[in-house]
Amino acid sequence: MKWTATLLLAAVALMAPGLAAAIPPEATYVGEKTCIKCHDVEAKHFGHTQHAKAFRQNPRNELEGRVCEACHGPGSLHAQRGNEKKREYLVGFTRDWGTPLDEQNAVCMSCHKGGQRMHWQGSAHDTAKLGCSDCHNAMARFSANGLLRAASVSETCQTCHAQQRADFRKRSHMPVPEGKMSCADCHNPHGSTTKTLLKADSVNEVCYACHAEFRGPMLWEHAPVRENCMNCHAAHGSNHDKLLVAARPYMCQQCHVSPALHAGQFFRGDQSARSQLSGGTPNPRMINRSCQNCHVQVHGSNHPSGARFQR
Amino acid sequence: MRPRAIRATLLAACISASLAHAEDGAMPAPGNVLNPAPVNPSTAGRWMDEEGMGTRIPAARSPIGRLYNMPLDAGGEAPARDVPGWINSAYIEFGLVRSSGTGTRGIPGYLDFDSGIYLNTYALTAEKPSEARFFEATGGAAGRDDQFHHVQFGRYNDWKVTAWFDGSPMALTSNYRSLWGGTGTSSLNLSTLTPGGGANAAATQTAIQNALAATPPGELDIVRRRAGVRLDSHLSTSWRMFASFVDDKRDGARPFGMVFGGGGGGGNFEAPQSIDYETQDFVAGVQFAGERNSFNLRASASFFRNGIDTMTVQNPLFVTLNGTNGLSPSLFTQGRFDLPPDNEAFNVKGEYAHAFPEFYRANLTATAALGSMRQDDKFIAPTQLALTGGTVAAGGASLANVWNTPDALSRQSADARIDTRLADVGLAMKPASALDVRAKLRYYETRNHTEYFACNPLTGQWGRLLNDGSGLSIVTANTTPGANPAGTSANAYNTASCSLAAVMAMNLAPVAGNIPIASIPFDYRQTLGSVSADYRVGRASSVNASLEREVMRRDFRERDETTEDRMKLGYVDRGTIEGAMRISYEYDKRGGSDYNTNPYAAFTSAGFGPAPAVNTQSMATWFKSIEQFRSFDLADRTQNIVNGRVDYSIVQNLDGAISFQVKDAMFPAEFGRTGRLRANSATLDVSYQSGSNAVMYGFYTRQWSNMGQRGVHPNGCVVGQTYYFFSDGRVANANTGATAPATPPGTTLVGTQPVTAGNWETACASAAATSPLFPESRAWEVNSHDDNDVLGLGIKYDFGRMKLDASFTRMLGRTRIGYKYNAAALGMTPLQEGLASRGLSDLTFSQNILTASLLAPIDRNISVRLLFRQEIGKIRDWHYDGVTANPVPANNTAFLDGGPVDYRDTLVGIFFQVRTP
How far off is chain A from B419, nearest CA to CA, in Å?
10
How far off is chain B from A2, nearest CA to CA, in Å?
24
B832 interfaces chain A, CB cutoff of 8 Å: yes
pLDDT value for B2: 35
Nearest residue to B443 (alpha-carbon basis) of B426, B427, B425, B423: B423
B800 interfaces chain A, CB cutoff of 8 Å: no
Nearest residue to B839 (alpha-carbon basis) of B788, B882, B875, B878: B878
- Cβ atoms of A75 and A30 within 8 Å: the answer is yes
Q: What is the mean pLDDT of chain B?
A: 93
- Cβ atoms of A133 and A48 within 8 Å: the answer is no
User: Letter for the amino acid at B266?
Assistant: G
- Cβ atoms of B242 and B232 within 8 Å: the answer is yes
- Residue B488 above 50 pLDDT? yes
DSSP letter for each residue of A220-269: B--HHHHH-GGGTB-SSEESSGGGBSS-TTTTGGGT---TTSSTTSPP-G
pLDDT value for B108: 63
pLDDT value for B3: 35
CA–CA dist B691, B71 (Å, integer) = 10
pLDDT value for A1: 45
pLDDT band at B53 (very low <50, low <70, confident <90, very high): confident
pTM above 0.90, yes or no: yes
Residues of chain B with Cβ-Cβ distance to A156 below 8 Å are none
| CB environment A269-307: b (16+ within 10 A), e (fewer) | bbbbbbbbeeebebbbbbbbbbbbbbbbbbbbbbbbbbb
pLDDT value for B56: 62
- Cβ atoms of B338 and A302 within 8 Å: the answer is yes
Instruction: Say which DSSP state A61 is in.
Output: S
Please count the other Cβ atoms lying within 10 Å of the Cβ belonging to residue A131: 24
pLDDT digits (tens, 9 = 90+) for A130-162: 999 999 999 999 999 999 999 999 999 999 999
Please indicate whether, in this complex, the C-beta atoms of A311 and B337 are within 8 angstroms of each other.
yes
CA torsion angle for B1, B2, B8, B12 (degrees, to 10)? 20
Kindly state the average pLDDT of the residues B164-180. Answer: 94
pLDDT value for B166: 96
- How many C-alpha atoms does B377 have within 13 Å on its Cβ side? 26
pLDDT digits (tens, 9 = 90+) for B611-657: 998 999 999 999 999 999 999 999 999 999 999 999 999 998 999 99
CA–CA dist A13, A19 (Å, integer) = 9
CB-nearest partner of A141 from B40, B157, B345: B40
β B391-392/B324-325 pair status? antiparallel
Kindly state the average pLDDT of the residues B47-73. Answer: 84
Kindly state the average pLDDT of the residues B271-281. Answer: 98
Please indicate whether, in this complex, the C-beta atoms of A216 and B375 are within 8 angstroms of each other.
yes
CB-nearest partner of A14 from B424, B538, B821: B538
Cis peptide preceding A217, ω within 30 of 0: yes
Could you tell me the CA-to-CA distances from A39 to B48, B51, B77, B567 in Å, in that order? 18, 12, 13, 48
CA–CA dist A117, A124 (Å, integer) = 13
CA–CA dist B325, B308 (Å, integer) = 33
pLDDT value for A16: 36
CA–CA dist B60, A131 (Å, integer) = 15
Which residues are CB-contacts of A195 (< 8 A; sequence separation ≥ 6)? A124
Interface of B with A in 123-182 (CB under 8 A): 127, 129-132, 134, 138, 146, 148, 150, 155-158, 166, 168, 170
pLDDT value for B105: 61
How far off is chain B from A260, nearest CA to CA, in Å?
5
CA–CA dist B472, B392 (Å, integer) = 8
- Residue B388 above 50 pLDDT? yes
Nearest residue to B71 (alpha-carbon basis) of B92, B52, B46: B52
pLDDT value for A113: 86
Could you tell me the CA-to-CA distances from A74 to A63, A92, A145, A277 in Å, in that order? 10, 12, 28, 82
Please indicate whether, in this complex, the C-beta atoms of A170 and B811 are within 8 angstroms of each other.
yes
CA–CA dist A87, B772 (Å, integer) = 79
Residues of chain A with Cβ-Cβ distance to B144 below 8 Å are none
Residue of A nearest to B46 (CA): A142
- Residue B24 above 80 pLDDT? no
Kindly state the average pLDDT of the residues B138-153. Answer: 96
pLDDT value for B106: 59
DSSP letter for each residue of B491-557: TGGGGGTT-HHHHHHHTPPBS-S--B-B----EEEEEEEEEEEEEE-SSSEEEEEEEEEEEEEEESS
- Residue B14 above 80 pLDDT? no
Could you tell me the CA-to-CA distances from B634 to A221, B598, B669, B672 in Å, in that order? 17, 14, 11, 11
pLDDT digits (tens, 9 = 90+) for B556-609: 999 999 999 999 999 999 988 899 999 999 999 999 999 999 999 999 999 999
Radius of gyration of chain A, Cα coordinates, nearest whole angstrom: 29
pLDDT band at B55 (very low <50, low <70, confident <90, very high): low
Q: Report, in this order, helix, strand and coil percent for chain A, each rounded to 5.
A: 40, 5, 55
User: Letter for the amino acid at A222?
Assistant: H
CA–CA dist A293, A284 (Å, integer) = 7
How far off is chain B from A153, nearest CA to CA, in Å?
8
CA–CA dist B44, B868 (Å, integer) = 19
A/B interface, count of CB pairs below 8 Å: 642
Q: What are phi and psi of B212, to 5 degrees?
A: -70, -35
Kindly state the average pLDDT of the residues B388-416. Answer: 95
Q: Report, in this order, helix, strand and coil percent for chain B, each rounded to 5.
A: 10, 50, 40
- How many C-alpha atoms does A226 have within 13 Å on its Cβ side? 30
pLDDT value for B269: 95
pLDDT value for B54: 77
Count Cβ atoms within 10 A of the Cβ of residue B486 and give its class: 0-12 exposed, 13-18 middle, 19 or more buried.
exposed
- Residue B173 above 60 pLDDT? yes
Please indicate whether, in this complex, the C-beta atoms of B41 and A177 are within 8 angstroms of each other.
no
How far off is chain B from A13, nearest CA to CA, in Å?
9
CA–CA dist B388, B331 (Å, integer) = 10
CA–CA dist B348, B815 (Å, integer) = 43
Count Cβ atoms within 10 A of the Cβ of residue B507 and give its class: 0-12 exposed, 13-18 middle, 19 or more buried.
exposed
Of chain B, the percentage scoring pLDDT greater than 90 comes to 89
Please indicate whether, in this complex, the C-beta atoms of A201 and B374 are within 8 angstroms of each other.
no
CA–CA dist B662, B117 (Å, integer) = 48
pLDDT digits (tens, 9 = 90+) for A185-242: 999 999 999 989 999 999 999 999 999 999 999 999 999 999 999 999 999 999 999 9
3-state secondary structure of B316: coil
Kindly state the average pLDDT of the residues B662-690. Answer: 97
Given CA atoms B627, B633, B636, B641 in this order, what sign does their dihedral have?
Answer: positive
CA–CA dist B226, B25 (Å, integer) = 11
Which residues are CB-contacts of B68 (< 8 A; sequence separation ≥ 6)? A94, A137, A149, B53, B59, B60, B61, B62
CA–CA dist B714, B531 (Å, integer) = 47
Residues of chain A with Cβ-Cβ distance to B374 below 8 Å are 217
Please indicate whether, in this complex, the C-beta atoms of A215 and B422 are within 8 angstroms of each other.
no
Nearest residue to B45 (alpha-carbon basis) of B901, B895, B855: B855
ipTM: 0.94
pLDDT digits (tens, 9 = 90+) for B682-741: 999 999 998 888 999 999 999 999 999 999 999 999 999 999 999 999 999 999 999 999
Residues of chain B with Cβ-Cβ distance to A311 below 8 Å are 335-338, 467-468
- Residue B445 above 50 pLDDT? yes
Count Cβ atoms within 10 A of the Cβ of residue A81 and give its class: 0-12 exposed, 13-18 middle, 19 or more buried.
exposed
Cis peptide preceding A282, ω within 30 of 0: no
Which residues are CB-contacts of B830 (< 8 A; sequence separation ≥ 6)? none
For chain A, residues with pLDDT lower than 50 are: 1-21
Residues of chain B with Cβ-Cβ distance to A180 below 8 Å are 30-32, 110, 146, 166, 168
Given CA atoms B22, B25, B31, B33 in this order, what sign does their dihedral have?
Answer: positive
Diameter of chain B measured on Cα atoms: 107
CA–CA dist B272, B180 (Å, integer) = 9
Interface of B with A in 691-720 (CB under 8 A): 699, 701, 703, 707, 709, 711-714, 717
CB-nearest partner of A261 from B29, B234, B263: B263
pLDDT value for B595: 97
Which residues are CB-contacts of B138 (< 8 A; sequence separation ≥ 6)? A144, B29, B38, B39, B40, B41, B44, B121, B122, B123, B124, B149, B150, B151
Alpha helices in B185-228 (DSSP H): 201-213
Which residues are CB-contacts of B165 (< 8 A; sequence separation ≥ 6)? B139, B147, B148, B149, B150, B225, B226, B227, B228
Q: What are phi and psi of A131, to 5 degrees?
A: -95, 160
